[in-house]
């Protein structure tokens, strides 16, 4: 199993190394100016030399992102459970949720900055709004996903609403909930970083990107992007790992 | 049709809530304004009415946003720089150009992945990983890089729109092109169909539900990309530029109007694709 996992990593890893090597080679041989596209080695050097700045930016952005992610997802899940008992509310809220999920919600960023100030609270608010609706819609679909047979079985056991919810329907909704959690990792990163374009105290990854572009220190921009990329992937991987642990019974994992 | 009543109830509730919040959030400011003007003898209904009609409210009331929308869309000439029609058409053009090239690239990549097995194992993890990367953070970079080559105007924004829209399309189309039953694939093989025949006669038709689903996501993503790109390079106008200008000058009503226009644009795009999708799928006897 473990050897297999490692073998799976081989081709993509090789591909990544080849791309990086090509990038390095082209920028050296063709002499691409660093202002347009710095070589990977230059970006790496920049990362090593500006660890304190990158770390401060990281902490600042994470504050807004993680708190927003937690609040938004929790709120979405709770509202989904609350409206679950009322088909009326469901029919009213879910089409709206689907619609809102397709809207450029990121546009509320300037409004949130105006309401909650320049610090991380406004970023958290943007992330809350962005993550709420995907979670609401997914969790609502998941909660209605338990089969009729299982529900009937619970009924014959004389299970109360709460028991059915906690023993059958919430576990059955988990794959959908995790789907939303995974979608939301990306949305939360985007929300937290873009909200910083509209105003921050002078720290944060989005702030760094927008100001360093202005100063034309492109290697610093790429260094920040690299940090953001690693963070986003790690965040996604973490959720995927928890998902594997929590929904080990689901068909998509059993099959392997 | 049975969801009309619940939907309108929820919308009406939201409307009432919005007015409530507007009064609640704007009253402190309005109270200060009254105090500064030396006006102390006002009733709470005076305060509420004034709070709903402020010049720069914290949260504009719905009728203010509607008024601004009417003013900027219908009452202003469409070619004026203040008109939202002017800015929306810029955003729409960038979105459509970006979306077109993004979907071509996305579909091409999906076909390549489905046909060349090794490509999948080496490319797919990167495509999935790159979805977790905030591509939007790259937007200011792309604008600068293209500027070095004297490529300005709409192109950088369309590039960003394309960049954002191709990922969901690739992922969806790979799934779609793989969706035919193994039995059907075997049948095609017994007919000794070539792989291009297999692509056009079996894989493409059966990928259509996935095609339309990913087109909807891709179009919405392209619009987000265009708006964000306009924020980072706002001289040429567009809805993103209006958002930025509004936030600079504290013109909240203007921000909300731009936001609603963007939402309407996105809704119209997604709705149009959904409609074409439903009609096509019904004609092809897919269960919809």
pLDDT in tens, A100-111: 776 777 778 888
Distances in Å between the Cα of A129 and the Cα atoms of A33, A122, A123, B112 are 40, 11, 10, 37
What are the tens digits of pLDDT across the range B225-256?
A: 888 888 877 777 888 888 888 877 878 888 88
Asked if A232 and B134 come within 8 Å (Cβ–Cβ), the reply is yes
ipTM over 0.85: no
Kindly state whether residues B104 and B242 are assigned to the same domain. yes
DSSP secondary structure string for all residues of B197-246: HHIIIIIHHHHHHHHHHHHHHHHHHHHHHHHHHHHHSGGG-SHHHHHHHH
Kindly state whether residues B232 and B180 are assigned to the same domain. yes
Residue in B125, B145, B247 nearest the CB of A37: B145
Does B246 fall in a domain?
A: yes
Q: pLDDT above 90 covers what percent of chain A?
A: 7
State how far the Cα of B167 lies from the Cα of B154, in Å rounded to an integer.
21
What are the tens digits of pLDDT across the range B68-117?
A: 888 888 777 777 777 888 888 889 999 999 999 999 999 998 888 888 87
Torsions phi, psi for A85 (to 5 deg):
-80, -10
Give the pLDDT of residue B97: 93
What are the tens digits of pLDDT across the range B42-63?
A: 777 777 777 787 777 888 888 8
Q: Which residues does chain A have within 8 Å of residue B220's beta carbon, measured at their own beta carbons?
A: 102-104
* B1 has pLDDT over 60: no
Q: pLDDT above 90 covers what percent of chain B?
A: 8
B253 close to B65: Cβ distance less than 8 angstroms: yes
Does the CA dihedral B254-B260-B265-B266 come out positive or negative? positive
Kindly state whether residues B50 and B94 are assigned to the same domain. no
Place of tokens 């347009």: A36
Give the pLDDT of residue B16: 87
Give the pLDDT of residue B287: 67
Residue B274 pLDDT class (50, 70, 90 cuts): confident
Asked if B267 and A113 come within 8 Å (Cβ–Cβ), the reply is no
Kindly state whether residues B171 and B247 are assigned to the same domain. yes
For A29, the 3-state DSSP assignment is: helix
Kindly state whether residues B126 and B243 are assigned to the same domain. yes
Residue in A88, A194, A229 nearest the CB of B136: A194
Kindly state whether residues B195 and B101 are assigned to the same domain. yes
What are the tens digits of pLDDT across the range A140-170?
A: 888 887 777 888 888 898 888 888 888 888 8
Residue in A90, A102, A213 nearest the CB of B140: A213
Residue A256 pLDDT class (50, 70, 90 cuts): very low
- pTM score, whole prediction: 0.80
State how far the Cα of B245 lies from the Cα of B250, in Å rounded to an integer.
8
Q: How far is CA A62 from the centre of its chain?
A: 12
- More confidently predicted of B199 and A256: B199
Give the pLDDT of residue B131: 64
- How many structural domains is chain B composed of? 2
For A183, the 3-state DSSP assignment is: helix
Contacts of A239 by beta carbon, 8 Å cutoff, 6+ apart: A178, A181, A182, A185
* A89 has pLDDT over 60: yes
Instruction: Select the residue from B133, B168, B232, B247 to test the A interface by mutation, using most A Cβ atoms within 10 A.
Output: B133
Asked if B137 and A193 come within 8 Å (Cβ–Cβ), the reply is yes
Beta-carbon neighbour count of residue B25 at 10 Å?
14
Mean pLDDT of A205-217: 82
Q: What is the mean pLDDT of chain A?
A: 82
Q: Domain residue spans in chain A? A: 53-254
Give me the domain span that covers residue B159.
84-283
Does B125 fall in a domain?
A: yes
Give the pLDDT of residue B288: 57
- More confidently predicted of A255 and A217: A217
- H helical segments located in A84-195: 87-101, 109-116, 120-143, 148-156, 161-164, 170-195
* B129 has pLDDT over 70: no
B21 close to B59: Cβ distance less than 8 angstroms: yes
State how far the Cα of B217 lies from the Cα of B200, in Å rounded to an integer.
24
State how far the Cα of B170 lies from the Cα of B132, in Å rounded to an integer.
15
Give the pLDDT of residue B276: 92
Does the CA dihedral A148-A150-A154-A160 come out positive or negative? negative
- More confidently predicted of B193 and B234: B193
Residue A156 to chain B, least CA–CA distance (Å): 32
State how far the Cα of A179 lies from the Cα of A127, in Å rounded to an integer.
17
Contacts of A151 by beta carbon, 8 Å cutoff, 6+ apart: A164, A168
Kindly state whether residues B250 and B184 are assigned to the same domain. yes
State how far the Cα of A237 lies from the Cα of A248, in Å rounded to an integer.
16
Does B223 fall in a domain?
A: yes
Q: pLDDT above 70 covers what percent of chain B?
A: 94
State how far the Cα of B185 lies from the Cα of B191, in Å rounded to an integer.
10
- More confidently predicted of B35 and A135: A135
What are the tens digits of pLDDT across the range B143-161?
A: 777 777 777 778 888 888 8
State how far the Cα of B220 lies from the Cα of B230, in Å rounded to an integer.
16
- Is the backbone of residue B225 left (phi > 0), alpha (psi -120 to 50) or beta? alpha
- More confidently predicted of B92 and B127: B92
| Tokens encoding B287 | 């269960």
State how far the Cα of A4 lies from the Cα of A20, in Å rounded to an integer.
25
* A247 has pLDDT over 70: yes
Q: Which residues does chain A have within 8 Å of residue B99's beta carbon, measured at their own beta carbons?
A: none
Is the CATH code 1.10.3720.10 the one for domain A53-254?
A: yes
Does B288 fall in a domain?
A: no
Does B173 fall in a domain?
A: yes
Kindly state whether residues B156 and B259 are assigned to the same domain. yes
Residue B274 to chain A, least CA–CA distance (Å): 12
User: Across A163-172, B29-38, B71-80, B183-192, which has the greatest mean pLDDT?
Assistant: B183-192
Place of tokens 């070589």: A39
- By the 10 Å C-beta count (0-12 exposed, 13-18 middle, 19+ buried), A156 is classed as exposed
CATH of the domain at B209: 1.10.3720.10
Give the pLDDT of residue A1: 42
- By the 10 Å C-beta count (0-12 exposed, 13-18 middle, 19+ buried), A195 is classed as buried
Contacts of A47 by beta carbon, 8 Å cutoff, 6+ apart: A54, A223, A226, A227
* A74 has pLDDT over 90: yes
Does B18 fall in a domain?
A: yes
- More confidently predicted of B104 and B41: B104
Give the pLDDT of residue B29: 79
Kindly state whether residues B147 and B17 are assigned to the same domain. no
* B128 has pLDDT over 70: no
Give the pLDDT of residue A31: 72
Does B196 fall in a domain?
A: yes
Residue B192 to chain A, least CA–CA distance (Å): 31
DSSP secondary structure string for all residues of A11-24: HHHHHHHHHHHHHH
For A106, the 3-state DSSP assignment is: helix
Burial B136-152 (b: 16+ CB within 10 A, else e): bbbbbbbbbbbeeeeee
Torsions phi, psi for A37 (to 5 deg):
-150, 105
Lowest mean pLDDT among A65-69, A196-200, B9-13, B222-226: A196-200
Does B68 fall in a domain?
A: no
Residue B132 pLDDT class (50, 70, 90 cuts): low
B130 close to B64: Cβ distance less than 8 angstroms: no
Give the pLDDT of residue A193: 85
A–B CB contacts, 8 A cutoff, strictly below: 153
């Amino acid at each position: 199993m473990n050897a297999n996992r490692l073998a799976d990593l081989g081709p993509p890893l090789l591909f990544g190394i080849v791309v990086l090597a090509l990038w390095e080679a082209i920028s050296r041989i063709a002499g691409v100016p660093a202002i347009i596209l710095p070589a990977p080695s230059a970006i790496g050097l920049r990362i090593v030399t500006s660890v304190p700045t990158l770390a401060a930016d990281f902490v600042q952005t994470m504050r807004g992102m993680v708190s927003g992610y937690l609040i938004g997802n929790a709120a979405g899940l709770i509202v989904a459970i609350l409206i679950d008992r009322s088909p009326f509310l469901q029919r009213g809220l879910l089409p709206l949720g689907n619609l809102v999920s397709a809207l450029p919600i990121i546009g509320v960023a300037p409004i949130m900055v105006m309401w909650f100030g320049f610090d991380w609270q406004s970023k958290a608010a943007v992330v809350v709004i962005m993550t709420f609706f995907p979670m609401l819609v997914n969790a609502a679909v998941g909660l209605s996903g338990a089969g009729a047979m299982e529900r009937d079985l619970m009924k014959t056991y004389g299970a109360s609403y709460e028991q059915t919810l906690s023993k059958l329907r919430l576990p059955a909704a988990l794959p959908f909930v995790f789907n939303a959690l995974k979608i939301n990792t990306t949305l939360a990163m985007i929300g937290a970083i873009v909200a910083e374009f509209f105003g921050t105290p002078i720290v944060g990854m989005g702030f760094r990107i927008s100001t360093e572009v202005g100063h034309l220190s492109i290697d610093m921009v790429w260094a920040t992007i690299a940090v953001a990329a690693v963070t986003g992937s790690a965040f996604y991987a973490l959720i995927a790992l928890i998902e594997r642990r929590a929904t080990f019974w689901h068909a998509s994992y059993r099959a392997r | 049709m049975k969801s009309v009543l619940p939907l309108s109830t929820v919308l009406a509730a939201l409307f009432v809530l919005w007015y409530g919040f507007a009064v609640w959030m704007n009253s402190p400011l309005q109270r200060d304004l009254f105090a500064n003007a030396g006006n102390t003898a006002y009733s709470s209904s005076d305060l509420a009415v004034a709070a709903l009609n402020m010049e720069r409210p914290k949260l504009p009331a719905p009728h203010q946003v509607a008024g601004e929308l009417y003013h900027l869309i219908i009452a202003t000439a469409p070619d004026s720089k203040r008109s939202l029609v002017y800015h929306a058409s810029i955003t729409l053009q960038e979105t459509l150009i970006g979306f077109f090239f993004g979907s071509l690239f996305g579909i091409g990549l999906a076909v390549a992945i489905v046909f060349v097995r090794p490509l999948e194992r080496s490319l797919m993890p990167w495509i999935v990983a790159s979805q977790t990367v905030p591509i939007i953070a790259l937007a200011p970079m792309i604008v600068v890089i293209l500027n070095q080559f004297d490529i300005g105007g709409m192109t950088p924004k369309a590039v960003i729109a394309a960049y954002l829209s191709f990922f969901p399309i690739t992922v969806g189309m790979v799934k779609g092109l793989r969706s035919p039953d193994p039995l059907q694939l075997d049948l095609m093989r017994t007919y000794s169909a070539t792989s291009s025949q297999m692509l056009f006669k079996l894989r493409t038709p059966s990928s259509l539900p996935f095609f339309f689903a990913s087109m909807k996501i891709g179009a919405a993503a392209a619009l987000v990309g265009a708006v964000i790109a306009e924020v980072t390079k706002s001289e040429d106008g567009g809805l993103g530029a209006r958002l930025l200008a509004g936030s600079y000058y504290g013109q909240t009503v203007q921000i909300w109007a731009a936001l609603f226009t963007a939402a309407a644009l996105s809704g119209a795009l997604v709705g149009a694709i959904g409609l074409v999708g439903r009609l096509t799928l019904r004609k092809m006897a897919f269960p919809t």
